[in-house]
Amino acid sequence: MAFKELVFSGVQPTGNLHLGNYLGAIVKFVELQDSHDCIYCVVDMHAITQAHDPNQLIANIREVTAAFIACGIDPKKHIVFNQSQVAEHAELAWVFNCVARIGWLNRMTQFKEKAGKDRENASIGLYDYPVLMAADILVYRATHVPVGEDQKQHLELSRDIAQKFNNDFAESIAAHGFGEGFFPLPEPLIQGPATRVMSLRDGTKKMSKSDASDYSRINLSDDADAIAQKVRKAKTDPEPLPSELPGLDKRPEATNLVGIYAALSGATKDQVLAEFGGGQFSQFKASLVDLAVAKLGPIGAEMKKLSADHAYIDSVLRDGSARARAIAAPNMKAVKEIVGFLS
Ligand code: AQP
């Protein structure tokens, strides 16, 4: 069956939205608006899989929504909403819990990293996170999912779940007039020079919201001074920058900073090295500060303004949720019929 192209992606409202979220995901959300219908979700149900403060969560939901809009997502042309306002996500996740296999989930590396050594004490929600993520995408029968590199394995699981559902219920799907498959196999869109932005303190660790050190990341809400301080303090090695890509081998921090510069300027890493190769890091960092401040400064300022306007942000989310529900509800009704529920 041919599926209409539809883009879906989400960001967790877990605080400290950073340059990795921006370059790995949000920049692509913005670009895809010109070519596709897009649904962008603040995935608040994922944000309660680990301990959280309810007052902080509601502020974070508004902040991610404000970031989407400040970065250039148009909530009138596309859909921006928060996951918990559309109950079909949880409903489909239950059906998918009965399709996905425990062995599949046991292979998920993000759960292992996030649960750490205290796995027995992790919530079932954290373990089940990738199944809810599959439901987030497939409840809209979305075909394309822009994400950072770290979400690749979860996307593969979403495809496995869609495929198994289509196989397990093939007869019923055909009998209900949906042809050969009810769900598309969603394609990850992982592209560009910054699909995995690394910590500014350790080039082997992903830049992450939950890193204890604020110096490990550039937050979208950072002002020019904070950005400048963090870039200047970013870890480097003693060698000058190479003029060609192979010279970045085994130099994770240099690779990361060059990738960030390339992504922010719209150049390739080769072009960045052609410009800065042979020079000292101090010069390169000064240019990176100017570039980062020019790109991120206006976003941070707009985000702060929008986050404070609760009435506006809440109305965007309410409107987006109603439009998301209008797509999700008939899909969920069809799933119920396919699996044999009486409705
Ligand atoms: N460092 C990164 N580089 C590139 N892309 C990244 N993404 C996250 N970190 C990087 C992408 O941002 C989108 C939203 O991520 P998320 O908020 O849903 O969850 P996450 O991947 O768990 O993000 P964090 O920031 O690392 O949070 P914590 O610290 O809670 O684990 C996704 O598309 C993701 O790939």
The CATH number covering residue 281 comes to 1.10.240.10
CATH number of the domain within which 151 lies: 3.40.50.620
In Å, what is the CA distance from 71 to each residue of 29, 64, 67, 190, 305?
Answer: 9, 10, 6, 19, 13
Q: For residue 2, what pLDDT band results from cuts at 50, 70 and 90? A: confident
Q: Is residue 205 part of a domain?
A: no
pLDDT at residue 1 greater than cutoff 70: no
What's the average model confidence in pLDDT over 152-179? Answer: 97
The verdict on residue 235 lying in a domain is yes
- Specify if 164 maps to a domain: yes
Are residues 316 and 301 located together in one domain of the fold? Answer: no
Instruction: Please tell me whether the overall predicted TM-score, pTM, comes out greater than 0.85 for this model.
Output: yes
DSSP 248: G
Are 46 and 90 in contact, with CB atoms under 8 Å apart?
no
- Residue 228: give the domain boundaries: 214-305
Q: Is the CB of 25 under 6 A from ligand 1?
A: yes
Ramachandran quadrant class, 202 (left: phi over 0; alpha: psi -120 to 50; beta: rest): beta
CA triplet 209, 212, 217: central angle to 5 degrees? 50
- Same-domain status, 92 and 234: no
Which pLDDT score, from 0 to 100, does residue 99 have? 98
Statement to judge: residues 71 and 55 lie in one domain: yes
Share of the chain above pLDDT 90, in %: 94
Domain count, the chain: 2
Percent of the chain with pLDDT over 70: 100
Identify the pLDDT of residue 170. 97
Overall average pLDDT of the 26-50 stretch: 97
Residue 280 has pLDDT above 80, yes or no: yes
Q: How many CA atoms lie within 13 A of 93 on its CB side?
A: 18
| Domain shared by 220 and 191, yes or no | no
Residues 184 and 107 in one domain: yes
Q: Whose CA is nearest to atom 8 of ligand 1?
A: 21
- Whether residues 229 and 148 share a domain: the answer is no
In a domain, 18, yes or no: yes
Tell me the pLDDT of the chain averaged across its residues: 96
pLDDT given for residue 117 in this prediction: 86
Q: What's the average model confidence in pLDDT over 36-59?
A: 97
Is residue 305 part of the annotated active site? The answer reads: no
The per-residue pLDDT for 193 is 80
Pocket test for ligand 1, best of 21, 46, 144, 214 (most atoms within 8 A of CB): 21
Q: Give the H/E segment covering residue 330.
A: helix 310-339
| Per-residue confidence band for 3, with pLDDT thresholds at 50, 70 and 90 | very high
Provide the pLDDT confidence category of residue 272 given band limits of 50, 70 and 90: very high
- 9 contacts: CB under 8 Å, gap ≥ 6: 25, 29, 39, 40, 41, 145, 146, 147
Same domain, 226 and 167: no
Q: Do residues 275 and 296 both lie within one domain?
A: yes
Using the mean position of ligand 1's atoms as its centre, give its distance from the Cα of residue 208 in Å. Answer: 6
Domain membership flag for residue 208: no
Mean pLDDT score, 237-249? 93
Active site residue 117: no
